[in-house]
Structure 1
Amino acid sequence: MDLKQLVANAIESSTDLDLSYDEIKDLLEVPRHEGHGDIAFPCFVLAKQLRKSPQDIAKDLAQDISGEGIAEVEAAGPYINFKLDHELVSQNILKEIYAQGKDYGTLNIGKGENVTIDMSSPNIAKPMSMGHLRSTVIGNAIANIEKKVGFNPIRINHLGDWGTQFGKLIVAYKNWGNEEDVRRDPIAELLKYYVQFHEEAEEDDSLNDQGRLWFKKLEDGDPEAVELWTWFKDESLKEFNRIYDKLGVEFDYYTGEAFYNDRLQGIVDELVDKGLLEKNQGASIVNLDEFDLNPALILKSDGASLYITRDLATAEYRKETFDFAESIYVVGNEQSYHFKQLKAVLARMGHDWQEDMHHVPFGLITAGGKKLSTRKGNVILLEDVLNDAVDLAKEQIESKNPDLANKEEVAHQVGVGAVVFHDLKNDRLNSFDFVLEEVVQFEGETGPYVQYANARANSLLRKAGFDESKVATQHEFALADEDAFAVVKELNLFPSIVEKAYYGYEPSVIAKYVIGLAQSFNRYYANTRILNDDDQLNARLSLVFAVTQVLEAGLNLLGVQAPKEM
């Protein structure tokens, strides 16, 4: 039940305003103060049309409006305030949630069409740092949301397994590497060599030339270069998969940049055939003046490919293979210009489907206000952060509930969930400073706070011996008190929240929503004797049950688990 829809219907059917139903609904507001009713209609927009003051319009219209589910209508200055029939509305909303369970909020926008989601994409031979967290968890949440609204999400880990940096790494390994050390601790050793390369290259620029040379050898299939590159890649994937397991993130495809090498010539040929490729100082470019963009560099003067060359091949492959309705790239904000160029080149190639490609940018995670950098060795390892978060969660569980049966499992769910939730509660485009001790707190606007509210609700249901299969009549859902109705109104918002998160590619909408729902439920819990054995007990338990369904559904959309005990 959409509460604004209910009020819009009443206004439309009771008045002869020169406004459509959709226009009426869009004007409706939720008052900041509960004393002003549940829904308000501002009359400012009608003043010119009716040639009266908004206050007089509100007074006149309020006398005529009535409808099912509306208990009171009154004018308050330039607003018409509507108080809803709490018992009837809560009955209908809770009945709907009870019938749908965790499917509540599911929409059919996508109609089963494919959506490719390019996410995470760490570079091989480097550890996964906190810098990789955002693309991974934002992409995973977007994939979950896409599924919730009816699409078929296809998670793709476009590994950074190609480019000049691998020539540099090969040079570093050949100069300073030790095979035994690498086999013992591959990622840490390879990172050490990579950092050393950049330190040495600041004094000796010829190292950069050597790096470019070895990457060209790799492109040309040099056996030694290919063997080292393959070894670096295999070791990296073992590390990555261990961390993805901790995060609970899975991929449908690990098709990195190297996967598209045999398609690059086809891209170049297509650009030539369409008369788009031009020579500029020995390099090959596509002019993008009509888009007010710099030329796209397709091939360097030595014939080596670039990111955009491989991304063109990637885009064509994904369209041919998956026939996507949307192709989403969850990549940092600093790559925005690259994606503008990519889409512009595809447009010049005549690929109208480039309009279905969306770059979903995000801000940075900083530590102590400083940007994390693998090159300079200023890196915080993601696995270390997750392990520390689990240890902090374990400490808090020991102090709050030392007899909890499955402490290790719950500590993992809470610790990892805290890190994921903290990332996703921030608006995607905002950067934020990460302080672990603030993240793993059971109080405040945190993941553990929401998880604990859900665990508390489940505890009430267990204590009451609540059996959802025995809630038989609509009367089990009828609640009229203000605290209960505040929770019901929050629950009612969930489908619209899912829709808003989908259209904005913005998981923070859901994270902020579940914080608000948890806060509303905790106020209800504090002010109401929920387990009091009276004729409203089953109705209160039905409300608590509805809260668990929506909190768990919301957390799961974010990729956060919802333990039933904490």
Structure 2
Amino acid sequence: MNQPIAALLSNAMNDELTVNEIEKLIEKPKFAELGDIAFPCFTLAKKLKKSPQVIAYELAAKLSDGMIQEVNAVSGYVNIFVNQQRVTDNVLQAILRDKEQYGSTKPVEENVVIDFSSPNIAKPFSMGHLRSTVIGNALANIAEKNGYQVERINHLGDWGTQFGKLIVAYKLWGDKAAIEASPIEELLKIYVKFHDVAETDESLNEQARASFKSLEDGDEEALSLWKWFREASLKEFAAIYELLGIRFDSFAGEAFYNDKMDAVVWELKEKGLLTQSEGAFVVELEDMPPCLITKTDGATLYATRDLAAALYREKQYGPKKIFYVVGNEQSLHFKQLFQVIGKMGYDWSKDLQHVAFGMMLKDGKKMSTRKGKVVLLADVLAEAIETAQRNIDEKNQALEQKELVARQVGVGAVIFNDLKNNRMNDIDFSLDQMMNFEGETGPYVQYTHARISSLLEKGQYKERDIQFEALGEYAWPVIQLLEQFPAIVQKSFEQADPSQVAKFSLQLARAFNKYYAHTKVLADDQWKQMKLSFACCVAIVLKDALRLLGISAPNQM
């Protein structure tokens, strides 16, 4: 609705502003009686050398189109009432025609790479890893909806000094049989013990640095232990990803780039970018600390590996953009990384984006693997599924496929609780709050979809040609939301912000439930099939919105 109105406004002002510029200025009036769309004329005053009030009157007089019902000029605004009948029919017919493709952009021959999840091997998959995992997955789905081909990369933390620590810890306190029986749990124990002891024994950190250097140099014993730690972790991670319904195209982690880093260091040296600083090599940067490339002992760092990864991905995929879905505490690292790539002469550095996010908190505090203060994601998911199962047993024992639905609702609740929040905000999670069927939760949206599915079944809905009319006043807010869905999908990709889709799904569910509360959908009258067709359109869009977030939409709950 905004785009065609913006085109009319642009034409009326002789292209003084582009359609895109006008779309960004368009507002929704605070009160319905003021109109469906408002265009403020204040930014045009200086350009046209007229008052906003005069500009508004002149524009209002020029606007005429079948989509517009009424136009008023009020206090420097052009307030527009659209032809609700025409908009309603256009939107609903488009949804019935396109089904789940509604809001999709025509496929383009361009890739985007999304680096997300990226847990450290030999450590448990905690609630702290959830954010990168679900934000990245949703962004990948949204990118595909926008027509892009997506490479989903799990840049595993399978290299670095922490493996020197783990090797030392295993040699000192490890029990092979115990680790084979419960790999992650036992490895976490000795990792936490290493940090406890290292607080009073600095020599342990020296041993860890030496062990990691031997790993980088190809020491057979160190490599054997590293491979064992990695395989045990991946097996455990696979179960989590399967439960979350998340897939990857690549598990090429930090270790994958071990043989590609020398070329990066050489290139930096050849281009005169390396500077020696206290025995280490750095790249000096503007307005921020230098980027450390190699330590005094020649060992590489995150930056070295991320440089190698970026160069490899650019060559391998030729992407339009590379997104790094990593917590905001790494903001400086990525600013340094992108600036180094720019200084190397690669103009595609502008196509790299750090998709930062806030922390997952427990009782208002950051979780720490080092201190052992960690909540396992597997435990949270299991508890959420169990809670959903109890709810089903209490309210709908006759439900078919109860275990499947419990899994869809429990897992969906955990994912939605994360994605409904602006990604930059910290989240202090509460399982009770997540599972509430009445609040701003995943189960509430899923239940709305299930309610509509039940209506369609009871009403024996069959798709047919429908002329939409007389849907009632409570349908119009729903229509307005449905019309906005394509723009929401586009905007959420442009801003790398899946929360816009999550918030949209809540608004749509609330608006439909209000309509349902005031409308006898199954009343056996001449409008019954029209009302069911309308409900079907809502179900299609709700289901697709949930799918973009990585959440299932059960037909029954």
* Mapping of residues 242-257 of structure 1, within 5 Å: 242-257=239-254
The aligned amino acid for 2:473 is E
Look up the match of 1:86.
Answer: 84
Q: 1:319 to 1:62 in 2, by over 3 A?
A: closer
Look up the match of 1:346.
Answer: 341
TM-score by length of 1: 0.94
- 1:125-156: CA deviation from partner (whole Å, max 9, x where unpaired): 11100010001000101100111101111111
Q: 1:268 to 1:77 in 2, by over 3 A?
A: closer
Quote the offset at 1:272 in angstroms: 2.0
Kindly indicate whether residue 469 of structure 2 is the aligned counterpart of residue 478 of structure 1: yes
The aligned amino acid for 1:118 is D
For 1:172 and 1:345, the matched residues in 2 are separated by 35
For 1:347 and 1:15, the matched residues in 2 are separated by 41
Query: What is the SS of the residue equivalent to 1:73?
Result: strand
Look up the match of 1:308.
Answer: 303
Kindly indicate whether residue 293 of structure 2 is the aligned counterpart of residue 298 of structure 1: yes
For 2:369 and 2:308, the matched residues in 1 are separated by 28
Look up the match of 2:192.
Answer: 195
For 1:442 and 1:461, the matched residues in 2 are separated by 21
Quote the offset at 1:265 in angstroms: 1.2
- Contact 2:392–2:402 (Cα < 8 Å) also in 1: yes
Look up the match of 2:478.
Answer: 487
Look up the match of 1:66.
Answer: 64
Quote the offset at 1:478 in angstroms: 3.0
Kindly indicate whether residue 553 of structure 2 is the aligned counterpart of residue 562 of structure 1: yes
Look up the match of 1:328.
Answer: 323
- Contact 1:479–1:539 (Cα < 8 Å) also in 2: no
For 1:378 and 1:556, the matched residues in 2 are separated by 32
Look up the match of 2:98.
Answer: 100
CA RMSD of aligned residues (A): 2.0
Quote the offset at 1:33 in angstroms: 1.6
For residue 545 of structure 1, the aligned residue among 513, 527, 536 is 536
Quote the offset at 1:28 in angstroms: 2.8
- Contact 1:15–1:65 (Cα < 8 Å) also in 2: no
For 1:91 and 1:380, the matched residues in 2 are separated by 49
Q: 1:280 to 1:82 in 2, by over 3 A?
A: closer
* Mapping of residues 362-377 of structure 1, within 5 Å: 362-377=357-372
For 1:24 and 1:236, the matched residues in 2 are separated by 51
Look up the match of 1:7.
Answer: 5
Q: Which moved more, 1:265-274 or 1:386-395?
A: 265-274
Look up the match of 2:215.
Answer: 218
For 1:480 and 1:75, the matched residues in 2 are separated by 29
* Mapping of residues 509-520 of structure 1, within 5 Å: 509-520=500-511
- Contact 1:88–1:478 (Cα < 8 Å) also in 2: no
- Contact 1:91–1:479 (Cα < 8 Å) also in 2: no
Quote the offset at 1:343 in angstroms: 1.4
- Contact 2:471–2:531 (Cα < 8 Å) also in 1: no
Q: 1:252 to 1:45 in 2, by over 3 A?
A: closer
For 2:14 and 2:183, the matched residues in 1 are separated by 74
For residue 136 of structure 2, the aligned residue among 125, 139, 152 is 139
Q: 1:347 to 1:78 in 2, by over 3 A?
A: closer
- 1:49-87: CA deviation from partner (whole Å, max 9, x where unpaired): 777765566566645543202223334444343222222
Q: Which moved more, 1:197-206 or 1:399-408?
A: 399-408
- Contact 2:275–2:283 (Cα < 8 Å) also in 1: yes
Query: What is the SS of the residue equivalent to 1:437?
Result: helix
Q: 1:16 to 1:382 in 2, by over 3 A?
A: closer
* Mapping of residues 413-492 of structure 1, within 5 Å: 413-468=408-463, 471-473=464-466, 475=467, 477-492=468-483
Q: Percent identity of the aligned residues?
A: 52
For residue 530 of structure 1, the aligned residue among 500, 521, 524 is 521
- 1:331-350: CA deviation from partner (whole Å, max 9, x where unpaired): 11011111111112112221
Quote the offset at 1:121 in angstroms: 0.7
- Contact 1:42–1:80 (Cα < 8 Å) also in 2: yes
- Contact 2:10–2:16 (Cα < 8 Å) also in 1: no
For 1:199 and 1:185, the matched residues in 2 are separated by 22
The aligned amino acid for 1:214 is S
Q: 1:204 to 1:46 in 2, by over 3 A?
A: closer
Q: 1:229 to 1:73 in 2, by over 3 A?
A: same
For residue 490 of structure 2, the aligned residue among 482, 485, 499 is 499
Look up the match of 1:378.
Answer: 373
For 2:343 and 2:443, the matched residues in 1 are separated by 49
For 1:46 and 1:353, the matched residues in 2 are separated by 35
For 1:23 and 1:363, the matched residues in 2 are separated by 31
For 1:117 and 1:204, the matched residues in 2 are separated by 40
- 1:212-239: CA deviation from partner (whole Å, max 9, x where unpaired): 1111111111111111111111100100
For 2:20 and 2:230, the matched residues in 1 are separated by 54
- Contact 1:86–1:479 (Cα < 8 Å) also in 2: no
Query: What is the SS of the residue equivalent to 1:249?
Result: coil
Q: 1:75 to 1:534 in 2, by over 3 A?
A: farther
Look up the match of 2:264.
Answer: 267
- 1:162-209: CA deviation from partner (whole Å, max 9, x where unpaired): 111111111111111111111111110000000000000111111111
TM-score by length of 2: 0.96
The aligned amino acid for 1:67 is D
Count of aligned pairs:
557
Query: What is the SS of the residue equivalent to 2:361?
Result: strand
The aligned amino acid for 2:457 is R
For 1:253 and 1:484, the matched residues in 2 are separated by 45
- Contact 2:138–2:549 (Cα < 8 Å) also in 1: yes
- Contact 1:90–1:480 (Cα < 8 Å) also in 2: no
For 2:444 and 2:82, the matched residues in 1 are separated by 31
Query: What is the SS of the residue equivalent to 2:158?
Result: coil
Q: Gapped runs of 5+ residues in structure 2? A: none
Q: Gapped runs of 5+ residues in structure 1? A: none
For 1:234 and 1:48, the matched residues in 2 are separated by 65
